Structure 1
Amino acid sequence: MTATAASVAGPQRPVDPAAHPGGAEPVSAATLARLHLTYLWRHARRLSLHDPQCFTELVQRRKLIDRDPRMAGLIDKLSVKTFVADRLGPLWTTPTLWSGTILPDRPPCAPPFVVKSRHGCRQMRIVRSDRDDWKAICRASARWVRSPYGGWLDEWAYRDVPRGLLIEPLIGDGRTLPIDYKLYVFHGRVAAIQVHLDRATAHRWTLYDRSGRRLSAAAGGDIRPPAALARMIEGAETLGAGFDFVRVDLYDIAGTPRFGELTFYPGSGLDRFD
């Protein structure tokens, strides 16, 4: 299954990539060149911004022209919890055990817990016991805070997220990471669900439609729909209302949905979506 622009986002208006509607900065020739070259490198085909045919092209288009001021606050893993609690209730969110910009010399809470950045992706460390190397985690987290994020791939919204860290309890059974359900919400309606398994070991994923019918041939294996699927879809659509697209990441913890994060640039539009 290949996600086309028409099937997921409706008709598109022609766009001048050099224009800057909504107060956005003008797009430089270097930015356009970088966008086209990285897209060609990852997808082995040319990028069409004037007439996008694939979901991944719509993500590139969004990077250039979408300057919705709400986005920065919603990709902030700390501040988004208020948004989710207001719309769905506080039980959907994972408690924050600690937040700041520099980790203390000793763990501020008992394991197991997760250390993550509030402003980036794939910036996470799991602390399962007191034997874990806390100094190494402190060094890694310091790099997250001082390093730029989002600029190289032109994901402008990350620029305005405060650099910082947070600690949350490790949800699930404490031994393995829970299954990650990524719900793709277009114009307030879930169109597809990526199910990610074994993210810490043998990561694989499979794509389903909203009814649980398998769409992709990825080697993820069939997964029984979670007990909370209907509530997860309803919650994702509540969070996605008012946006042309947002990906809502959720978990099913013992039959109860739990919020993970919101993403406006899945895979930066460079991962395959089929």
Structure 2
Amino acid sequence: MLVGDFYMHMPASKRLLEIILFVYHLLLFLTKPGAFRRYLKITKTLPFFAVPKTYNEKYLWRKFVDHDPRFTILSDKLACKSWVAKRAPELRMANVVWQSDNPDDLLALPDFMFKMPLAFKSNHGQGDVCIFENGVSDVKSLREAGGRMLAFDHGKANHEWGYFNIPRTLFFEELIMGQGCELSEVKIYTFGQDVKRIVHIGGRSDSLWANAWELDSEGLVVPSAEKAALGKPNEDIKPPALIDKAIALAKMLGRDFDHMRVDLYWDGRELWFGEMTVYNQAGYHKQPSGNSPDSELSRAWDIRSSHFMRKAALNCREKIYRNLLSSIM
């Protein structure tokens, strides 16, 4: 069913109320013209997030309305490690061996870091990872890169609120490597304790593969009809041997959120923690299901379980909006 058809079947009074809310939030969204243009460009739809029904609209609603304080913790790669370690102490995690908020400190790294495999990251960034399989090299260039990482205001372009208040830090962690096979990543989409999508990714940038899975009515992992967007499928790759454990861990870590993506690494023997992703692909699901209110992902995400819909402290405007939204949903 198209979004237009969906609204034609709604009572007139309800449609009028939704239009009023749409205009109100559209004016709010227009205060961020860059985010507005980006949403239009990527999704090819208007930002009807006052009463979100599609997967993409719900991400937009999360960015502008649902400001759960835990989103800042989970978006901070260092704080997130501590958060997860308390809840899943059995889950392996790459050890942090160095951290600093001053890029000049990179010029005085301890000797052992020039000999061990490491990953260099910022705690507030995304995709800004430097891999050193044989130890750190060229610290002067690394210092320049670290300065750029700290200066970059990640999350601003797409209004990913969870990144806005992270105290910025550079860090090195041990490099997770495959044990007799290539390292792969398992991204598990949770909705409360339900899992609706699993994306398994591996390979190098020039040969990246990505398989999409889902759970059938009996809880078995089966191929998804909607392919992954990050790479071509590889039918020769099966789900990791510990996929059931991965799903159980994801359900446990994501159970207190209306939606979360739990990322794990598979080294061929063990599962490792990757990250908790609040805004999947910056909040844009580029497949057709992202803009369909009837898709599995759209229907699975129940924002009535969100922080905003459950929190006690609300200002007058928020109370009015939440009451109106509750009456419509």
* TM-score category (smaller protein): 0.7 to 0.9
Asked if structure 2 preserves the Cα contact closer than 8 Å seen for 1:182 and 1:249, the reply is yes
Distance 1:44 1:114, change over 3 A: same
Alignment of 1:124-143 (within 5 A): 124-130=129-135, 132-143=137-148
Alignment of 1:5-16 (within 5 A): 16=21
Cα deviation, 1:146-194, whole Å, max 9, x if unaligned, reads: 2222122111110111101111111123898621111111122221111
Structure 2 unmatched runs, 5+: 1-16, 290-329
- Provide the rounded CA distance (Å) in 1 between the counterparts of 2:132 and 2:207: 20
- Once the two structures are overlaid, the 10-residue window that deviates more, 35-44 or 74-83, is 35-44
How many angstroms does 1:56 deviate by?
Answer: 2.1
Alignment-mate amino acid for residue 149 of structure 1: H
2:244 to 230, 234, 258: 230
Asked if structure 1 preserves the Cα contact closer than 8 Å seen for 2:106 and 2:142, the reply is no
Question: What is residue 80 of structure 1 aligned with on the other side?
Answer: 80
Asked if structure 1 preserves the Cα contact closer than 8 Å seen for 2:190 and 2:262, the reply is yes
- Once the two structures are overlaid, the 10-residue window that deviates more, 70-79 or 53-62, is 53-62
TM-score where L is the length of structure 2: 0.70
Asked if structure 1 preserves the Cα contact closer than 8 Å seen for 2:106 and 2:139, the reply is no
SS of alignment partner, residue 114 of structure 1: strand
Alignment-mate amino acid for residue 186 of structure 2: Y
Asked if structure 2 preserves the Cα contact closer than 8 Å seen for 1:35 and 1:153, the reply is yes
Alignment of 1:190-229 (within 5 A): 190-210=195-215, 211-215=220-224, 216-218=226-228, 219-222=232-235, 223-229=237-243
SS of alignment partner, residue 184 of structure 1: strand
How many angstroms does 1:124 deviate by?
Answer: 0.7
- Once the two structures are overlaid, the 10-residue window that deviates more, 145-154 or 103-112, is 103-112
Could you say which structure has the higher helix fraction? 2
2:276 to 255, 262, 272: 262
- Provide the rounded CA distance (Å) in 2 between the counterparts of 1:204 and 1:37: 30
- Once the two structures are overlaid, the 10-residue window that deviates more, 134-143 or 203-212, is 203-212
How many angstroms does 1:64 deviate by?
Answer: 1.0
How many angstroms does 1:115 deviate by?
Answer: 0.3
Cα deviation, 1:92-126, whole Å, max 9, x if unaligned, reads: 32111111122421543233110011011011100
SS of alignment partner, residue 141 of structure 1: helix
- Provide the rounded CA distance (Å) in 2 between the counterparts of 1:242 and 1:125: 32
- Once the two structures are overlaid, the 10-residue window that deviates more, 96-105 or 167-176, is 167-176
- Provide the rounded CA distance (Å) in 1 between the counterparts of 2:147 and 2:23: 36
- Once the two structures are overlaid, the 10-residue window that deviates more, 107-116 or 50-59, is 50-59
Asked if structure 2 preserves the Cα contact closer than 8 Å seen for 1:18 and 1:28, the reply is no
Alignment-mate amino acid for residue 75 of structure 1: S
Cα deviation, 1:211-243, whole Å, max 9, x if unaligned, reads: 331213452212201011111111111111110
2:158 to 149, 153, 156: 153
- Once the two structures are overlaid, the 10-residue window that deviates more, 239-248 or 49-58, is 49-58
Question: What is residue 29 of structure 1 aligned with on the other side?
Answer: 30
Question: What is residue 9 of structure 1 aligned with on the other side?
Answer: none
Structure 1 unmatched runs, 5+: 1-12, 21-25
Asked if structure 1 preserves the Cα contact closer than 8 Å seen for 2:55 and 2:285, the reply is no
- Provide the rounded CA distance (Å) in 2 between the counterparts of 1:28 and 1:46: 11
Distance 1:36 1:176, change over 3 A: farther
- Provide the rounded CA distance (Å) in 1 between the counterparts of 2:175 and 2:125: 19
How many residues are matched?
256
How many angstroms does 1:136 deviate by?
Answer: 1.8
Question: What is residue 255 of structure 2 aligned with on the other side?
Answer: 241
Question: What is residue 182 of structure 1 aligned with on the other side?
Answer: 187
- Provide the rounded CA distance (Å) in 2 between the counterparts of 1:207 and 1:150: 26
Distance 1:167 1:61, change over 3 A: same
Question: What is residue 63 of structure 1 aligned with on the other side?
Answer: 63
Query: What percent identity do the matched residue pairs reach?
Result: 27
- Once the two structures are overlaid, the 10-residue window that deviates more, 262-271 or 101-110, is 101-110
Asked if structure 1 preserves the Cα contact closer than 8 Å seen for 2:202 and 2:210, the reply is yes
Verify: 1:112 aligned to 2:117, yes or no: yes
SS of alignment partner, residue 78 of structure 2: coil
Asked if structure 2 preserves the Cα contact closer than 8 Å seen for 1:60 and 1:268, the reply is no
- Once the two structures are overlaid, the 10-residue window that deviates more, 116-125 or 91-100, is 91-100
